[in-house]
Amino acid sequence: MTRRQVRYWLFRFRTEAEGGASSKGAPRGLRKHYEDHPHFGGWDSFGMTWDISADDVEVIIPLRYTLEQAWNTEAYANAKDLPEAKV
């Protein structure tokens, strides 16, 4: 599976752990694979304190920043300012 596909299922597992929609239909053994990983920090921590490596989807990496913080940094760095409106 691609990194995108794996992350989709990991977010589904997180959503289910938070009381949301079921992750029914996930590839067999995927949840257990990550839960058995020594750096697994819980489904509620996925995207907050850990993610999977961009180079190898089997590897869990700790995050310095949450996904939201990384997104905001990227957005602020690349978004253009809107022109001032004259009222």
pLDDT tens per residue, the chain (87 residues)?
999 999 999 999 999 999 999 999 999 999 999 999 988 889 998 988 899 999 999 999 888 878 788 889 888 899 888 788 777
Q: What pLDDT is stored for residue 12 in this prediction? A: 96
Name the token pair of 7. 């992350």
Q: Does residue 63 lie within any of the structural domains?
A: yes
Q: Is residue 74 part of a domain?
A: no
Q: Does residue 45 lie within any of the structural domains?
A: yes
Could you list the residue range(s) of the whole structural domain that residue 46 is in? 3-69
**In the chain, how many domains are there?**
1
Residue 80 included in any domain: no
Q: Is residue 75 part of a domain?
A: no
Cα–Cα distances (Å) from 70 to 37, 41, 44, 73, in that order, read 24, 19, 18, 5
Would residue 32 count as lying in a domain?
A: yes
Decide if 18 is inside a domain.
Answer: yes
